[in-house]
Structure formats: structure tokens, C-alpha cells
């Protein structure tokens, strides 16, 4: 993200307004996040041409180190040859003097502003900070982060607790039937008997069917036995009837 021309104009106008209030015409330079010149104005024309290059160098230095040029001057002064080497590397776009500030929106550096030509100590820095205030007032509000929505957590069954009735097979649900419980919630006496009956029915239903050939043989044996017993009973009945008739005839 880099500064737009509309934002640069707002910063420039705020700096010019503060310079007029202080009766201190200055040069104002605004660069983008890469240090390239976006907007420049020299209020003391036709003189003060040197302040133009100084203001551009201040804005470039503020973006390069992402801090005010006054802070850079304080810690850079303790490094021998620091100012001369940086000025040579940047083709004169480096200076250690107050009056340059990075321009930030929501914590992101989008450019820099440099002011030079103030007629009193600290005027350049004060005029540059007026541009910072105008940018902060016109910056779009930062989007709020969404609140953390609690996610549903999986529910694990406690092994120590009995499982719910719907989680058990059908043949073992009789013990959890509400109709088989008394007022205290315990199963009544008939529940265990029905459990055994249901269990026996379930076991019988899962048994393999018997061989059809053996079943047919047993049925035939039963039928033959019935026929044999019926014929024997018929012979005995005939014999008894014949014996009774002989007795009646004799007597």
C-alpha cells in the first residue's frame, strides 16, 4: 500500500496551514512508500531553492528507516562515517536533521513527509507533525477482527455411565423400558423374566435351520408309527368283539 495523491494533498495542505500560522514559509515534500516523490511545494519562492532538496532528503530518510529523521540523527551521530556513506549511497537523498516523518495508516507505512526552511529551531518538525495529524484524521478506520466464536466440541460417552437405550441392540432394551420401572426408577420383578424370554427368542431366531431331509424322515417315522399303532389297536378290537360274541352264543 502506498500513499495516494489525494492523501498527499491533505498532508500538504495541513502543513501549509500550520506554516502560515507560524509565519514560517517552508518547502514541503511528500514521497510514497518507495521513496519516490509524489508532491512538492516551495512556499518561499523565488528564493530558498536549497530547502527543496533538503525537504526531499528528509522525506526519503524517514521512509528508508521508518522513523523520524530526528531519531535517525540521534543514533546515527554515534556511528563514524554513517552520514557521509549513506548520502553517497542514496545520491544525496539522506540527511540527519529534524523535520521528516513516516506517514502511516493503521500501522502501515505508506510514505513520508519532509519539511525544510523553518525560521526557528523545531519549526520544521512541528509543521511536519501537522501533516501527520491530518492523515490520521482522514485515514479509513481499521477493520475490527471478528470475535472468536466457540466451536461445538464432540461429546464422548463416559464408560462408567450406562449407555442410552437407543445405543443398545433391540433384544436388550427391555431392562431400560420405562414401563418396567417403578417409582424409584429400578426394574420391577418381571423385567428379568422378559429379558430371558427375549434373549431366548433372539438366540432361537439366530440358530441355523435344521436339515430338511432329517425333518422329513422324522415326520415319516411318526406317520408310520401312528399307522402301526392304529392297525394293532384295530386287530385287538376285532378279536375282543369276536370273543364276546362267542361267549354270548355259548351261554
| Cα dist from 78 to 60, 83, 90, 95, whole Å | 21, 10, 20, 15
Asked if residue 124 and residue 223 are part of one domain, the reply reads no
Sequence-ordered alpha helix ranges (H) in the chain: 5-21, 49-65, 69-76, 82-89, 123-138, 190-206, 212-250
212 lies in some domain: no
Q: What is the DSSP letter of 26?
A: -
What is the total count of domains within the chain? Answer: 2
- Model pLDDT, residue 47: 78
Neighbours of 203 (CB within 10 A): 10
**Which of 138, 164, 189 finishes a domain?**
138
- Model pLDDT, residue 219: 57
192 lies in some domain: no
Bridge partner residues of 112 (DSSP): 31, 102
Q: How would you list the strands of the sheet with 27-32, edge to edge?
A: 37-42, 27-32, 108-116, 100-105
170 lies in some domain: no
- Model pLDDT, residue 130: 95
| Cα dist from 75 to 49, 61, 78, 222, whole Å | 29, 14, 6, 118
What residues contact 103, with CB distance under 8 A and at least 6 apart? 3, 7, 11, 30, 109, 110, 111, 112, 113, 131, 132, 135
Asked if residue 22 and residue 127 are part of one domain, the reply reads yes
Give CA–CA dist 188/192, Å, rounded. Answer: 8
Asked if residue 225 and residue 123 are part of one domain, the reply reads no
Asked if residue 116 and residue 222 are part of one domain, the reply reads no
Neighbours of 115 (CB within 10 A): 31
Range of the domain at 96: 5-138
**Which of 103, 138, 173 finishes a domain?**
138
What is the reported pTM? 0.56
- Number of helical (H) and strand (E) elements in the chain, helices listed first: 7, 4
Q: What is the DSSP letter of 30?
A: E
Each residue's pLDDT expressed in tens, for the chain with a length of 251 residues: 789 999 999 999 999 999 999 999 999 999 999 999 999 999 987 778 899 999 999 999 999 999 999 999 999 999 999 999 999 999 989 999 999 999 999 899 999 999 999 989 999 999 999 999 999 887 666 555 454 555 556 555 555 555 555 555 544 444 445 444 455 545 445 555 555 555 555 555 555 554 545 555 555 555 555 555 555 555 555 555 555 555 444 44
Q: Are 116 and 56 in contact (CB under 8 A)?
A: no
Give CA–CA dist 7/86, Å, rounded. Answer: 29
188 lies in some domain: no
Residue with cell 442410552: 164
Asked if residue 133 and residue 17 are part of one domain, the reply reads yes
Asked if residue 133 and residue 11 are part of one domain, the reply reads yes
Asked if residue 235 and residue 131 are part of one domain, the reply reads no
64: domain CATH number?
3.30.450.150
What's phi and psi for 168, nearest 5 deg? -105, 155
162 lies in some domain: no
Asked if residue 132 and residue 26 are part of one domain, the reply reads yes
Neighbours of 65 (CB within 10 A): 18
Amino acid at each position: 500500500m502506498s500513499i495516494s495523491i489525494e492523501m498527499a494533498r491533505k498532508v500538504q495542505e495541513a502543513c501549509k496551514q500550520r506554516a502560515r500560522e507560524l509565519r514560517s514559509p517552508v518547502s514541503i515534500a511528500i514521497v510514497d512508500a518507495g521513496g519516490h516523490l509524489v508532491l512538492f511545494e516551495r512556499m518561499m519562492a523565488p528564493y530558498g531553492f536549497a530547502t527543496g532538496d533538503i525537504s526531499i532528503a528528509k522525506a526519503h530518510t524517514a521512509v528508508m528507516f521508518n522513523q523520524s529523521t530526528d531519531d535517525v540523527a540521534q543514533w546515527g551521530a554515534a556511528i563514524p562515517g554513517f552520514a557521509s556513506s549513506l548520502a553517497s549511497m542514496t545520491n544525496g537523498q539522506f540527511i540527519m536533521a529534524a523535520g521528516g516523518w513516516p506517514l502511516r495508516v493503521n500501522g502501515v507505512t505508506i510514505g513520508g513527509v519532509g519539511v525544510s526552511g523553518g525560521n526557528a529551531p523545531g519549526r520544521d518538525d512541528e509543521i511536519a507533525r501537522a501533516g501527520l495529524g491530518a492523515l490520521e484524521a482522514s485515514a479509513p478506520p481499521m477493520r475490527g477482527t471478528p470475535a472468536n466464536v466457540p466451536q461445538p466440541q464432540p461429546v464422548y460417552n463416559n464408560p462408567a455411565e450406562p449407555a442410552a437405550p437407543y445405543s443398545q441392540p433391540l433384544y436388550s432394551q427391555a431392562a431400560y423400558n420405562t414401563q418396567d420401572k417403578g417409582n424409584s426408577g429400578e426394574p420391577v420383578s418381571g423385567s428379568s423374566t422378559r429379558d430371558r424370554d427375549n434373549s431366548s427368542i433372539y438366540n432361537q431366531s439366530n440358530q441355523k435351520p435344521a436339515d430338511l431331509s432329517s425333518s422329513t424322515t422324522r415326520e415319516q417315522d411318526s406317520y408310520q408309527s401312528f399307522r402301526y399303532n392304529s392297525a394293532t389297536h384295530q386287530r385287538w378290537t376285532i378279536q375282543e368283539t369276536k370273543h364276546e360274541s362267542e361267549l354270548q352264543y355259548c351261554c
